[in-house]
A and B are shown apart, each in its own frame.
Chain A
Amino acid sequence: MLAADEASNPWFDASYVTGNWDTIVVHLRQHVTLTVGAVLLGVLLALPLALLARRVRPLAGPVLGLSSVVYTIPSLAMFAFLAPFTGPLSATTVLVGLTLYTLVILVRNFLAGLQGVPDDVREAARGMGYGSARLFWQVDLPLALPAFMAGLRIATVSTVALVTVGVITGNGGLGQLIVGGFNANFYRAEIVTGAVGCVLLALVADVLLAGLERLLTPWTRAVA
């Protein structure tokens, strides 16, 4: 049934990667930019929200609830809602959507970390004359850091996956390769390149963040 001049269609094809390296790098760069941007913006939004939720207890429920509700909006619908405001082809659409999705993970983990700081430690610090800024930097942050970093790692890895959905706006990072392969008569090498690229990117990001966590919390290993 194959036409005579039809090329074979293997799952793994190094010549696809070398022949399309420039395109792959462009998509990879976009994937990384969107992931890093969304997670950074997410941290900047989630930290004040978590601090607010800890200080004003009745707000904790609504803040967590709202970020969870945002997460339940299907990503395709989210990008469609945002597109008229952020520009139909702009990567901002994807960036804003992804940032909102990181909130559910980041706010929850940040709040859990902050709530895990023992009250007597904070009281002792306050008794020693720590102001609220110094209390945050020298007491809250170091003690909550493991929970912060756990949240950051989950948010980053899940964002790497979600970027691919941005393909409906033409800004899907490596997702462009996955969908493009499906639309090019099921070009397996292209699909696999996009999919494997996503997996590798998530792994690399996770390892980097794990290393950062080790660097930032030397005291957790000093005891052993």
Chain B
Amino acid sequence: MRTRARSLLPLAVAGVLLTACGESGSSGSSGAGASATASGDACAPVAGDQLVVLEDDQQLQNADNVVPAVNMATAQANPALLPALDAVSAAMTTAELIELNGAVDLQRQNAEDVAAAWVEENVDAAALQQGSGPIVVGGANFTESTILADVYADVLTAAGFDASVREVGNRELYLPALISGSEIQVFPEYLSTATEFLNRQVNGSTAEPVASGDVQATLTALRPLAEQVGLVFGRPSEAADQNAFAVTRAFADELGVSTLSELADACGDGSLVLGGPTECPDRPFCQPGLEETYGLQFAEFRELDAGGPLTKAALQQGEVSIGLVFSSDGALAQ
């Protein structure tokens, strides 16, 4: 034990140092705007603190909206359960999810307090149908899932249930538990991710993907799959945690763009520098998708991380013009 815990600290320190290297060290090759592409520099990176997401107007990304997943037997036995969770979906937006994540991840507030304050402000407890009995809400071990599980539990408590939160591990383990319903009965899921997980479970690992960027179409595909395994999904909220492409506000203002299509129109000269995870140049959701769906052209691809500190720092310091982030990241500007 002692050796393990000792080795953790140096590891963590190394992590910090590596992060620091990524932030400052990559400036060695930052002459990106002036590099080989002689076609122009209209869309060269612009440094700035605030990051904004460009709207995915052609729906390149799967819709990963937050949606309540409930054990079917529990939902049927407690008719007040789904309406209470749908009340959360009705009030939750991506902007608010960003704010909640930021309160915990950046301002270091307690997730339970943040969730309680949001419910207090956004859900009319008096209007909820009343139920009763114990309900366990599962939450995965990351900030957003913890907050959403706390929000669900608070709303269910307001609706008369005896709700508690249980921390769980990987989806491969908690989804079977949700289906069996003995240990957890409710989970804040993500629409497309859950759909594809159940699609592979029901139709085999080589099943044709059925999730898409269209929320309603994905929900229509999800419902029969869920019914087959014994789950019920509530109403998807507007809030989504999915792949998104961010630029600095300074960059967006300078070009006057707010969607990826507008970016493609403004950046015909191929001077964009893209930052993302290692697999980005090969994955349809990343560079190939941007090129084929939007007709964007890139001067360069910079290998960073999947929406982590490296990508955000590279954007803010003007190393890349556009980078892959997650749409509900607490660091995104409102």
Chain A interfacial positions (CB closer than 8 Å to B): 1-7, 9, 16, 19-20, 80, 83, 87-90, 157-158, 160-161, 164, 167-171, 176, 178-180, 183-189, 191-192, 195-196, 198-199, 201-203
Contacts and interface: CB of A to CB of B under 8 A. Distances in A.
Interface residues of B, number: 44
Interface string B91-122: 00000000000101111101000000000000
Contacts, number: 112
A168 B170 CA distance: 6
A89 B142 contact: no
Interface stretch (B2-10, B37-45, B73-81): B2-10
A92 B251 CA distance: 53
B108 A88 contact: no
A150 to B, nearest CB: 16
B177 A1 contact: no
Given A89-B183, A185-B105, A191-B12, A1 B49 contact: yes
Interface string B1-35: 11111101100100110000001000000000000
Residue among A167, A183, A189 with most chain B CB within 10 A: A183
Residue among B105, B168, B169 with most chain A CB within 10 A: B169
A3 B331 contact: yes
Given A89-B183, A170-B169, 14 more contacts: A3-B49, A4-B49, A20-B110, A80-B172, A89-B173, A89-B177, A180-B141, A180-B146, A183-B143, A192-B9, A199-B5, A199-B6, A201-B1, A202-B2
A196 B285 CA distance: 41
Chain B: interface secondary structure? helix
Given A89-B177, A183-B142, A195 B8 contact: yes
Nearest to A188: B12
Nearest to A22: B112
B173 A198 contact: no
B171 to A, nearest CB: 10
Nearest to A180: B141
B334 to A, nearest CB: 11
B306 interface: no
A5 B106 CA distance: 7
B201 to A, nearest CB: 14
A181 to B, nearest CB: 9
Interface in B286-334: 309, 313, 316-317, 330-331
A60 to B, nearest CB: 29
A202 B174 CA distance: 30
A21 to B, nearest CB: 11
A198 to B, nearest CB: 5
Contact of A5 (B16, B107, B170): B107
Nearest to A9: B108
A172 to B, nearest CB: 8
7 contacts: A7-B106, A88-B177, A89-B173, A89-B174, A89-B177, A189-B108, A195-B5
Nearest to A189: B108
A180 B168 CA distance: 11
A184 B331 contact: no
Interface in B234-276: none
B4 A161 contact: yes
